[in-house]
Amino acid sequence: MTLLAVEHPDWMLDAECTRAKPELFYPEPAGRSVTEAKAVCARCPVQAECLAWAIRTNEPWGIWGGQTPDERGAALRAELDRVDTLGRSSAEVAAIIGCHPRVVVRRRAQRRAIAEERERLRAEATSIMQRLA
């Protein structure tokens, strides 16, 4: 019988989480606290590598590098917004940040949708103010 081999980055061998209960790092389904998992991450010698890997691979689940998926998403969006200037391509921005180009494309689409909604609301407010005047 052949088992599927899964390659892991070398830094994972030094991760503190390998000596902890895996369910600590996946609290979502059970609604458990993330405090204990974050404490393990805080003393981990490869926390930065772990967080970078989770962001680069767009890991949607669990605590990685001491951050929840929502925290990683917020950090990535902030970094994308900071770096995504000067007419760079999606691939260039992704290479700078260390994420997949699809993440950059999605964030750009989100920003466009937000800008369009703001403009729609401004126009609506202007129309209402003109009718009231």
Q: What is the pLDDT of residues 42-65, one digit of tens each?
A: 999 999 999 988 988 888 899 999
Residue 3 lies in a domain: no
Classify residue 100: in a domain, yes or no: yes
Residue 4 lies in a domain: no
Residue 98 sits in which domain range?
10-132
How many folded domains does the chain comprise? 1
Whose tokens are 């998992």? That residue is 37
Asked if residue 1 belongs to a domain, the reply is: no
Whether residue 102 lies inside any domain: the answer is yes
Q: Does 46 fall in a domain?
A: yes
Single-letter amino acid code for the residue at 116: E
Q: Quote the pLDDT of residue 58.
A: 82
Tell me the per-residue pLDDT of 79-95, one tens digit each, with 9 for 90 and over.
888 888 778 889 998 88
DSSP result, 72-124:
HHHHHHHHHHHH--TT--HHHHHHHHTS-HHHHHHHHHHHHHHHHHHHHHHHH
